């Protein structure tokens, strides 16, 4: 047999030490393991070039530098328990076995696993266990691991592997869609349910095929991800993105959202109408953002005048006796439930302590559907502050009176009768209210803002119901636009540093919010 020990020492010196690998244990292990014993017959003389080499099943033995680099990233120490996914030739596992006490390695191709097993035996490396199977699921019986090294690139860090890390444990994995280039990630488990992630730059690996990797038929034939087809199933994508969270009532649950503390908008969709658990989780996150991070707006997918009743309550403002009973419209359960009630009471208590009172957190509705409630609110406001203006407004809104109970029939009627009159009337009223707002800037703040917002809503709703009659997407877009603009008005009204938590389907405002300030979270 060729004596390649000189080449081996040279490889460690030239390709590893001089390229920045400093860990003594790693360098020593790489001086010891005969890489030539892990390449296919005929390739021995290339064993100490710093490059990958082909092995059976169309796979490769990793480049020595990358093996050393991954081990250094993983900070492997004597005494560690290490899992490797992608045994391949067995070379990396052999190197690891010279540093730590126990190595577990998984290979999906039985033939490769068997060859590697024979190599370890021949070399007398007895602290390596080899298994054939899908390494994306890890090796639960041997967990937890101090380090997990994945030698093939997947769509994301498999959840099972993250969960099999000990606290403080490190997972090293190449990740990315592009078969030519992926990112080498290090995921560190920092706590029972917390992880941190670092990116160590571009690399190129063979694909990780498995339940939490790629699908075999996508990639293996060509070795390329088809550019026109999704390469990951939805569960895979969700699996790659999710993080386990503590129980909702555990204080650590809401703390996990502190990372969004600096955002202007936190959108807690996608399920604005959900289960009790979802409502409690949403409330816990919102409480934390308000209490610890100064958020002062909760904007929800409820009608403006209805939410305004809650807003008056939580901000200790005057109850409006004229207002009709809020939250009557279907689906009433969406807001009339114990979880929302508990949150509302919490907010009222919290606000009690907030000084000055203008900094109290408010509760606002973004939606458009309670036109009659908005009309009543505008009239109520004007009756109190300007009875003459109230009389004019009453006349203008009178145009809509026949449809207030059943606004969805308005569109049809508007076709035949002179709807333009109605449109003109509500727009005039809206303009008047906005002019009043400018005129009285600074005075009567919350009350006038509420009334003006109702006037806006009536104008949007008039169009909405008219357009709805024709069907199609226009009315839907109109509603979404109204919701987003309402959010903007609330932010403007609450000042330059105002920050909002939004409880609405993200589709209503997420897109626009993203385009507006690229500052979207959640």
Residues with a known catalytic role: 62
Three-state secondary-structure class, residue 154: strand
- Give least dist CB 134 to ligand SAH, A: 5
- Give least dist CB 497 to ligand SAH, A: 49
- Give least dist CB 193 to ligand SAH, A: 25
For residue 478 the two structure tokens come to 């109109």
Query: How is 93-127 classified by DSSP, letter by letter?
Result: HHHHHTTSSEEEEEES-HHHHHHHHHHHHHHT--S
Least Cα distance to 153 among 211, 214, 93, 70 occurs for 214
End-to-end Cα spacing for the chain: 60
Adjacent-strand bridge partners of 365 = 300
Helices and strands (DSSP H and E) totals, the chain: 19, 13
Report the residue number, 61 or 393, with the smaller CB distance to ligand SAH: 61
Q: Buried (b) or exposed (e) across 144-178, using 16+ Cβ within 10 A?
A: bbbbbbbbbbbbbbbbbbbebbeeebbbbbbbbee
* 343 Cβ contact list (under 8 Å, min separation 6): 283, 286, 287
Report the residue number, 59 or 81, with the smaller CB distance to ligand SAH: 59
Q: Cis ω on the peptide bond leading into residue 144 (within 30° of 0)?
A: yes
- Give least dist CB 84 to ligand SAH, A: 6
Report the residue number, 85 or 425, with the smaller CB distance to ligand SAH: 85
Strands 102-107 and 81-85, bridge-based pairing: parallel
- Give least dist CB 37 to ligand SAH, A: 12
Secondary element (H or E) of residue 522: none
Report the residue number, 100 or 502, with the smaller CB distance to ligand SAH: 100
Report the residue number, 152 or 375, with the smaller CB distance to ligand SAH: 152
> What is the CA angle 192-193-194, rounded to 5?
105
Give me the residues that bind ligand SAH (CB under 6 A), please.
57, 59-62, 85-86, 88-89, 91-92, 106-109, 112, 134-136, 151-152, 206, 208-210, 213
- Give least dist CB 67 to ligand SAH, A: 6
Three-state secondary-structure class, residue 23: coil
Least Cα distance to 290 among 361, 220, 242 occurs for 361
Report the residue number, 210 or 326, with the smaller CB distance to ligand SAH: 210
For residue 507, the tally of other CB atoms under 10 A from its CB is 12
Hunting for tokens 């330059």 — which residue is that?
496
Report the residue number, 61 or 520, with the smaller CB distance to ligand SAH: 61
- Give least dist CB 133 to ligand SAH, A: 7
């Amino acid at each position: 047999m060729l004596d390649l020990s000189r080449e081996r020492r040279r490889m460690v010196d030239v390709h590893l030490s001089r390229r920045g690998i400093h860990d003594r244990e790693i360098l020593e292990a790489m001086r010891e393991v005969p890489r030539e014993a892990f390449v296919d017959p005929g390739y021995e003389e290339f064993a100490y070039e710093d490059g990958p080499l082909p092995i059976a099943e169309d796979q490769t033995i990793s480049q020595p530098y990358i093996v050393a680099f991954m081990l250094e990233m993983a900070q492997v120490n004597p005494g560690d328990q290490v899992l490797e996914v992608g045994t391949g030739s067995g070379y990396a596992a052999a190197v690891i076995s010279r540093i730590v006490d126990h190595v577990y390695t998984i290979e999906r191709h039985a033939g490769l696993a068997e060859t590697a097993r024979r190599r370890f035996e021949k070399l007398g490396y007895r602290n390596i266990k080899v298994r054939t199977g899908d390494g994306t699921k890890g090796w639960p019986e041997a967990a937890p691991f101090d380090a997990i090294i994945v030698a093939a690139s997947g769509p994301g860090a498999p959840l099972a592997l993250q969960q099999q890390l000990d606290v403080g444990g490190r997972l090293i994995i190449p990740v990315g869609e592009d078969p030519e280039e992926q990112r080498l990630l290090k995921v560190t488990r920092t706590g029972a349910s917390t992880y941190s992630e670092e990116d160590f730059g571009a690399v190129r690996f063979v694909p990780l095929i498995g339940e939490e990797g790629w699908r075999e038929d996508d990639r293996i034939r060509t070795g390329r991800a088809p550019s026109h087809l999704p390469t990951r199933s939805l569960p895979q994508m969700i699996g790659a993105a999710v993080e386990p969270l503590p129980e909702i009532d555990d204080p650590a649950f809401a703390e996990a959202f502190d990372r969004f503390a600096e955002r202007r908008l936190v959108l807690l969709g996608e399920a604005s109408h959900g289960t009790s658990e979802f409502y409690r989780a949403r409330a816990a996150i919102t409480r934390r953002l308000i209490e610890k991070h100064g958020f002062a707006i909760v904007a929800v997918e409820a009608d403006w005048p209805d939410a305004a009743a809650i807003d008056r309550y939580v901000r200790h403002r005057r109850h409006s006796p004229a207002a009709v009973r809020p939250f009557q419209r279907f689906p009433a359960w969406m807001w009339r439930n114990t979880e929302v009630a508990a949150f509302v009471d919490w907010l009222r208590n919290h606000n009690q302590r907030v000084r000055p009172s203008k900094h109290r957190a408010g509760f606002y509705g973004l939606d458009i559907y309670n036109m009659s409630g908005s009309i009543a609110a505008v009239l109520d406001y004007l009756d109190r502050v300007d009875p003459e203006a109230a009389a004019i407004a009453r006349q203008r809104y009178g145009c809509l009176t026949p449809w207030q109970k059943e606004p969805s029939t308005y569109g049809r009627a508007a076709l035949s009768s002179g709807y333009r009159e109605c449109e003109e009337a509500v727009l005039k009223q809206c303009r008047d209210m906005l002019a009043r707002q400018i005129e009285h800037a600074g005075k009567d703040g919350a009350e006038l803002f509420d009334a003006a917002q109702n006037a806006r809503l009536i104008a949007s709703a008039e169009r909405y119901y008219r357009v709805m009659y024709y069907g199609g997407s226009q009315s839907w877009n109109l509603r979404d636009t109204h919701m987003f603009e309402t959010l903007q008005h609330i932010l403007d009204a609450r000042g330059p540093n105002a920050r909002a938590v939004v409880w609405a389907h993200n589709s209503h405002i997420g897109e626009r919010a993203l385009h507006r300030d690229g500052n979207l979270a959640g």
